[in-house]
Amino acid sequence: MRRSWVSIFTVYAPMLGVPVLLYLYIIFNAFHLGTASNAVLYLSMLGLAVFAIVGFRDVFIDRQKPRHFLDLKEAAGQTVHKTDMDTTTHEDAKIVEMRIKRFNPQSKLLEENTYRARVDRYSSVLDTIIDIKRKQDPTIAMRYSCRMGICGSCGMVVNGKPVLACETNVFKNMKEDASISVAPMQGHPLLKDLVTDFDDFFSRHASISPHLHRTDETEKYEAKKEYIQTKDELNKFLPFSYCIMCGLCVDACPVVNVNPMFIGPQALSQVQRYYADSRDQLGERRLDMVDKLTHVWDCEFAGACSVACPKGVDPAFTIQMLKTEIVRKNLTGK
Amino acid sequence: MEVLDYDTVILGSGLGGLTTAIHASLKGQKKIKIAVVTKLHAMRSHSVSAEGGISGVLYPEATNDSIELHAYDTVKGSDYLADQDAVEILANSAPDEIRFYDHIGVSWNRTDSGSIQQRPFGGMSIPRTAFAADKTGFFMMRALYDEVVGLGNVDIYHEHFVTSLFMDGKRFAGATAIDLATRAVKLFRAGTCVIATGGFSRVYGFTTTAHSSTGDGIALAYRAGLPLKDMEFVQFHPTALVPSGILITEAARGEGGYLKNNKGERFMEKYAKSKMELAPRDIVSRAIVTEIKQGNGYTHKESGMPYVHLDLTHLDAKLLDERLPMIKELSIKSINVDPHTEPLPIRPAAHFTMGGIHVNTHGQIMLDAKGVPAGGMWAVGECGCVSVHGSNRLGSNSLSQCSVWGRIAGNAIPEYIQKNPSSAGKDILKQAEAEEARINGLLENRGTVNPYELQSRLQKTMDDLVYVYRKTSELTAARDAIRELRGQYGDIYITDKGREFNSNLRDTLEIENLIDLAEVVVEGAIRRKESRGAHAMVEFPKRDDTNYLKHTIASRKDGGLGIDYIPVTLTRWEPEERVY
């Protein structure tokens, strides 16, 4: 599900169209062209407004993408009060109530199911959901693989925060009523239950040319000697190369969630990762690549991405660094 | 049914799969059509979990190291079961692979002069393991994925679970895969195929590997009648965190960590006097299990697991942060222990499967024990047994293996396609439709058994009966249990009938693969009446070169399991006693 071309007309045309019409309205009034023309203008503005509203709705339906600011309708799901029959008890075990919001692809609603599971002080949210899936409800869908916070599969929203489920301890995150609420990331199109669609996310990442560019391609691939890189040069890009592509920053970003044209924090952080690498020879062409309204200049520095990032990449900081570099380049020409 | 035509399909997107894709693409001047089919998102394959590093002799003069020494260490580590011609290829090519990764962007740790830094590793006589902190596999995977994205002629099929391989006589013809997003069955038609689906350590419950390491490609090859090699050798990594099994890299000991029992002794001096903690993994694992059996271990309160301590508290805090940041992060996040101040509870866990699909030194899959290669089929990485690791792999040789044979296979593909145009396509569609019907039949099966219950019983059987030390009586009990599970697999019930992301169906198919592979492991182990490398039999504590200096070849014959043996290739190193 790629970003629809429809959104170009439905989001941007109205955004440009409304100021143009306002300008015309002022001109018309200034020249006293009469009420008939005004009526036409008012009507066409109303039409555009309707067009915009319908357009926005289209974007959402197209991407199956509920937004944070649009509270997704929730249906009453069933409550499953089953506890697994695990007999290995010990005094420190507790029962947790997992309230899992599951996206139903048929009804397009989020349905909350409640499960109870036995946990101990080592249990992660991921362990607990896998346990529930295996013993109580095999239809639960979520992604997981490495369970050690490095593959980036299990991003979800736990107690309202976008986190990796495998790194989230149950005991530490239990609410007072011994419950935990889990929901899918809503900054990506929903697919089923806790699973979201990453195609758009990956194509954004691919669009910023995320690889080392060398002027001499043969020399790049037929490596007989390593490139020399000092520790300082390494440290300039190292923090930004920790990105595991989990998508949590995009889920957290308030800008990309209202403006789907903004490329988002993950891709931009990776521009900085390659721009700062002393081995890369694309140089300032990387800056030209992102010196656009839809790239760095759409970032409003809310910083949510950096709070959400489980690997400390700090995308918000990288975007401001890119802005600084672009300004420096444009002002000094160097 | 959707039919997709490619020149080559690569199953799996780990280090092996992605390096193959890159080299096939470059060698074919970006003109051949390549599909990478993976059951995960391509950058999330289990290779990301590799921590310690990649071996290769980079600076022979400065470090007084040599290619021969690397090869010798590997052969000795393998307990002489490795094919020595293959080991020489590995040692010769590994340094170029490390430089290749440098050229595509891996953030290697550097020395003060800016060259690539190397660290000591178990069984390696000289520090020759290049590393990027303790996330080496992750950085390599990201670099490879980013490189593949820019190639243009490689299509990545994320989240497509391959269910069967089709052969046209002796030649590869195609494969079917379930698109997890829609549950649609698709047919990938191609003249060549590379299997790079990794190992199957998930036959064990206590394992360092990802939930997705289920050996799907090996099981597919086995069911397609292709032979498997040395499947009984499963590596147990000495230091897996209790209770989750999360890997604590060997580099923790390479950087100076100690193993201690409950008396506070560094017990490794009893087992490997000169190498201590840096003995090969099979020896350290046996030492830990022996200590625990002698009552020198601790018992974990919640899980009941016995363990010993990995002590890093005496290491310099700055060194720990610079070279082992992930270990610190993992132990704090998963068990709330800071390695700066407290020792880590560890015990051996299934980590790597030395066995796999029977391939020759070119990475080509063999049709039978005799050594006739199948047409247009390669297996690279953990799922292909070359064999360079023999009965015990040395740490950091696996990443070299993936890269070296990824390149060998990738370079061979374009020429093979040119010389042998694919003739596939006639009745393969019918076979694919039959496969689709089989999957739909599985969904409609009105059985009574929860597939996850089979999985947990299988894992418990393997954990209890086929662990570090093995006994014939326990192995036969395991075989009976596995056969019973296989019988019950016919009576499974898949609860999820939906089309979107039906992971219940995917898991069920994975469990079938695990059951098939576990049986081969146990059968091979029962028949090998000696102790060699990772295979330690209580009744036969000595290595037996007269009878067992040979590879086990297992293949499906007439619905049953047939075992054959082939000789080990020796070139320069005669088997001798293995002392560290």
Query: What are the tens digits of pLDDT across the range A15-41?
Result: 666 667 677 666 666 666 556 666 676
Three-class secondary structure of residue B393 per DSSP: coil
Name the residue among B10, B12, B30 with its Cα closest to residue B21.
B10
- Average pLDDT, integer, range A215-222: 89
Mean pLDDT of A1-22: 56
Instruction: For residue B434, give every residue at least 6 positions away whose Cβ sits within 8 Å of its Cβ, in sequence order, or none.
Output: none
Could you list the beta-strand ranges (E) of B256-342: 258-260, 298-299, 306-311
Q: Which of B41, B45, B40 lies closest to B19, judged by CA?
A: B45
Predicted confidence at residue A87, as pLDDT, reads 44
Q: Is B14 exposed, middle or buried (0-12, 13-18, 19+ CB in 10 A)?
A: buried
In this prediction, residue A85 carries a pLDDT of 43
> Would you state the pLDDT for residue B364?
97
What single DSSP character describes residue A136?
T
Cis preceding linkage at A254, omega within 30:
no
Contact A241 B139 (CB under 8 A): yes
CA gap B543, B536 in Å, rounded: 9
The pLDDT > 70 percentage for chain A reads 75
Q: In this predicted model, what pLDDT tens digit does every residue of A73-101 receive, in sequence order?
A: 555 555 554 444 444 455 678 999 999 99
Which of 192-221 (B) contact A at CB < 8 A? 210-212
Provide the residue ranges of all domains of chain A, joining segments of one domain with +. 5-64, 94-195, 198-219+227-332
The tokens for B246 are 């999360």
CB B123 within 8 A of CB B395: yes
Q: Which of residues 256-295 of A touch B (CB under 8 A)?
A: 274, 277, 279-280
Q: Exposed, middle or buried, B236 (CB in 10 Å: 0-12/13-18/19+)? A: buried
Cβ–Cβ contact A190 with B under 8 A: no
Quick check: A223 and B452 CB within 8 A? no
Complex ipTM value: 0.95
What are the C-alpha distances in Å from B461 to residues A101, A157, B337, B466, B489? 35, 36, 30, 8, 16
Minimum distance, in Å, between the CA of residue A238 and any CA atom of chain B: 7
Task: Determine the distance from the C-alpha atom of residue A128 to the mean position of all C-alpha atoms in its chain, rounded to a whole number.
Answer: 25
Rounded to the nearest angstrom, the minimum Cα separation between A247 and chain B is 12
Q: Which fold has domain A198-219+227-332?
A: Fumarate Reductase Iron-sulfur Protein; Chain B, domain 2 (1.10.1060)
| Residue numbers in A near B38 (CB within 8 A) | none
Residues of B in contact with A167 (CB under 8 A): 333-334
Residues of chain B with pLDDT below 70 are: 424-426
Contact between A183 and A161 (Cβ < 8 Å): no
Neighbours of B576 (CB within 10 A): 9
Contacts of B181 in chain A (CB under 8 A): 191, 197
Q: What is the pLDDT of residues A134-181, one digit of tens each?
A: 999 999 999 999 999 999 999 999 999 999 999 999 999 999 999 999
Q: Which of B237, B286, B407, B556 is catalytic?
A: B237
Beta-carbon contacts of A178 under 8 Å, excluding residues fewer than 6 positions away, are A94, A95, A96, A97
What is the rounded end-to-end Cα distance, in angstroms, of chain B? 58
Answer whether A211 sits within 8 Å of B147, measured CB to CB: yes
Across the interface, of A133, A231, A243, the residue whose CB is closest to B110 is: A231
Contact across the interface for A234 and B107, Cβ inside 8 Å = yes
CA dist., res. A279 & res. B252, Å (int):
29
In angstroms, the Cα distances linking B73 to B88, B145, B482 are: 11, 31, 36
Contact between B40 and A145 using a beta-carbon 8 Å cutoff = yes
Name the band, by pLDDT with cuts 50, 70 and 90, for residue A217: confident
Q: How far apart are CA A78 and CA A100, in angstroms?
A: 11
Contacts of A221 in chain B (CB under 8 A): 26, 100, 103
Nearest to A90 among B158, B181, B302 (CB): B302
Per-residue pLDDT at B503: 96
Band the pLDDT of A66: cuts 50, 70, 90. very low
Flag whether residue B176 sits within 8 Å of chain A, measured between CB atoms: no
Q: Which residues of B touch A90 (CB under 8 A)?
A: 301-302
Q: CB–CB of B504 and A231 under 8 A?
A: no
In chain B, which residues have their Cβ closer than 8 Å to the Cβ of A134?
450, 452, 455-456
Among the partner residues B96, B210, B502, nearest to A146 by beta-carbon distance: B210
Determine contact: A124 vs chain B, CB below 8 A.
yes
Q: What is the CATH number of domain A94-195?
A: 3.10.20.30
Taking CB atoms and an 8 Å limit, are A226 and B58 in contact across chains? yes
Pair B232, B535: CB distance under 8 Å: yes
Angle between helices A315-332 and A265-275 (to 10 degrees): 60
- Report the chain A residue with the minimal C-alpha distance to residue B207: A146
Q: Which residues of B373-387 are buried (b: 16+ CB within 10 A; e: fewer)?
A: bbbbbbbbbbbbbbb
Beta bridge partners of B11: B37, B195
Residue pair B167/B195 in contact (Cβ under 8 Å)? The answer is no
Out of B107, B114, B115, name the one closest to residue A238 (CB).
Answer: B107
Strand partners, B165: B175
Beta-carbon contacts of B270 under 8 Å, excluding residues fewer than 6 positions away, are B287
B253 counts as catalytic: yes
Distance (Å, whole) CA B22 – CA B153: 10
Residue type, B568: V
- How far is CA B270 from each of CA B276, B287, B392, rounded to the nearest angstrom? 9, 9, 21
| pLDDT surpasses 90 at A192 | yes
Q: Using an 8 Å CB-CB cutoff, list chain A residues near B237.
A: none
Q: Which of residues 47-66 of B touch A (CB under 8 A)?
A: 48-49, 58
B98 interface with A at CB cutoff 8 Å: yes
Cα angle: B36, vertex B386, B211; to 5 degrees: 50
Q: In the structure, what pLDDT confidence band is assigned to residue A215 with cuts at 50, 70 and 90?
A: very high
Check CB contact of B508 with chain A, cutoff 8 Å.
no
What mean pLDDT is reported for chain A?
A: 84
Q: Please answer whether residues B118 and B55 qualify as being in contact, where contact means their C-beta atoms are separated by less than 8 angstroms.
A: no
Q: Which of residues 116-155 of B touch A (CB under 8 A)?
A: 116, 135, 138-139, 142-143, 146-147, 149-150
Q: Tell whether the model's pLDDT for residue A71 goes beyond 70.
A: no
Interface size, chain A vs chain B, as Cβ–Cβ contacts under 8 Å: 185
pLDDT of residue A56: 54
- Answer whether A144 touches B (CB < 8 Å): yes
Instruction: Please answer yes or no on whether A227 and B103 come within 8 Å at the CB atom.
Output: yes
Element (H, E) at A100: strand A94-104
Instruction: For A62-81, give one letter per residue: b (16+ CB within 10 A) or e.
Output: bbbbbbeeeebeeeebeeee
Catalytic residue among B119, B253, B393, B543: B253
Q: In chain A, what are the helix, strand and coil shares in percent, each to the nearest 5? A: 45, 15, 40
What pLDDT shows up at residue B370?
Answer: 87
Which residue of chain A comes nearest to B455, CA vs CA?
A134
Identify the closest residue of chain B to A242 by CA–CA distance: B139
> B102 and A226: CB-CB below 8 Å?
yes
Please give the single-letter amino acid code of residue A287: L
Distance from CA of B103 to the nearest CA of A (A): 6
Q: Which amino acid belongs to residue B224?
A: A
CA quadruple A185, A191, A195, A197: dihedral, nearest 10: -70
Give chain B's count of helices (H) and strands (E): 16, 25
* Contact status of A214 with chain B (Cβ, < 8 Å): yes
Chain A residues inside the 8 Å CB shell of B46: 145-146, 151
